[in-house]
Structure formats: C-alpha cells, structure tokens
C-alpha cells in the first residue's frame, strides 16, 4: 500500500465512515483499492501516474466495466488523502447518506 492508501485504510477499518470496507479486493478481473459491498462503492486512491493518458484510458475502461457490475466510484489523489483527509472522509460518508432532495414531479 502507498502511504495515502495506508492513511485511508486506517480511517476505514476504524469505522470512521460507519460502513465496512474491504481493501485490495478482487472483483472480476480487477483488484480495487477499497470496496464496500453496502452501497456498491469502490474507492480508488490515485498516484501521479494516473494522470498519464494511457493510464487514464485504462482507468476509464476498468471503471466502466465495474460500473456495469453495479459499482460506483470515488477517486481521490494521494495528496487529497494525505492533506485533506477530513474532506475525503466527509465525501465518502456523504455517499451513504440518502438524498434529501425530493424527487421532481412532472406537471
């Protein structure tokens, strides 16, 4: 694990978001950084090489394949996890909070 993945894992395994996560979990042909089966959330922590065009293309194909299986993604950079940990945890928590916006109605 990278330093950022280790920091995030410490938060997730200590139940700071209130949902159980697995790390380095195999789903189909892929290994994801973190996944919660509750809500189908995959969290990826991306290093600098993820900004390379070939890697972005590979990431997009991988994400699309996993979304077809019903998963949703949150991606964070190493820097976000290391220097904005509270904001990252809030974003993860917010994923699991039901929307308070009422459904739109047609006239």
In this predicted structure, what is the pLDDT of residue 93? 93
Q: Which residues contact 75 (CB under 8 A, 6 or more apart)?
A: 43, 44, 45, 46
pLDDT in tens, 24-37: 999 988 999 999 98
Q: What is the pLDDT of residues 76-93, one digit of tens each?
A: 999 999 999 999 999 999
Mean pLDDT, all residues of the chain: 86
Cα torsion at 17, 22, 27, 30 (round to 10°)?
A: 90
Q: Please answer whether residues 30 and 64 qualify as being in contact, where contact means their C-beta atoms are separated by less than 8 angstroms.
A: no
Per-residue pLDDT at 54: 72
Sheet architecture: strand order including 22-27: 22-27, 30-36, 41-46, 72-77
């Amino acid at each position: 694990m990278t330093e950022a993945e280790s920091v995030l894992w410490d938060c997730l395994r200590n139940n700071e978001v209130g949902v159980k996560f697995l790390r380095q979990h195999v789903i189909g042909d892929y290994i994801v950084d973190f996944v919660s089966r509750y809500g189908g959330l995959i969290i990826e922590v991306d290093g600098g090489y993820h900004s390379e065009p070939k890697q972005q293309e590979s990431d997009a194909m991988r994400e699309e394949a996993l979304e077809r299986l019903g998963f949703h993604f949150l991606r964070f950079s190493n820097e976000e996890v290391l220097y904005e940990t509270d904001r990252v945890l809030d974003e993860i928590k917010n994923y699991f909070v039901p929307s308070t916006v009422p459904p739109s109605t047609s006239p």
